[in-house]
Each structure stands twice: as structure tokens, then as C-alpha cells.
Amino acid sequence: MQTVPAKLTDRLIIEAEELIKEGGYAHKSELIRDALTSLFCTSRLIEHAVSETTKYKKI
């Protein structure tokens, strides 16, 4: 695993700390990994849906 330095806004830090306090995550790096994984999965699903929609519109 690699370390990636990132700057976050105060608002994002506050939101992250709230989620950690609620027990959803052990620390910020876990939360950020999960958020990126969700983003990538969502992006792939959208790309697939658009591809399928475009395929059927050409008929």
C-alpha cells in the first residue's frame, strides 16, 4: 500500500471525524479508501449504464 498525501477542507475533516466518532471507521485513511472505492464503483456502474443505454438507442 502506498501513502498519498492529500489536503482536505475543514468541512471534509469535520465530516470525516463525525463518521469516525459514530464508529463507522477506525481512522481517516480507512474512510478515504472506502470513499474512493465507492466513487470508482459508482463511476463504473454509470459508465456501464450509459453504454447499455447508448447501445439500445442505436437500434
The answer to whether position 19 is within a domain reads no
- Count of structural domains within the chain: 1
Confidence (pTM): 0.73
At position 16, the amino acid (one-letter code) is A
Distance separating alpha carbons of residues 26 and 18, to the nearest angstrom: 12
The answer to whether position 49 is within a domain reads yes
CA distances from 35 to 41, 42, 51 (A): 10, 10, 24
- Is residue 52 pLDDT above 90, yes or no? no
The answer to whether position 50 is within a domain reads yes
Confidence of residue 57 (pLDDT cuts 50, 70, 90): low
Range of the domain at 36: 28-59
The answer to whether position 1 is within a domain reads no
| pLDDT tens digits along 30-40 | 999 999 999 99
The answer to whether position 5 is within a domain reads no
The answer to whether position 45 is within a domain reads yes
The answer to whether position 14 is within a domain reads no
Distance separating alpha carbons of residues 16 and 55, to the nearest angstrom: 40
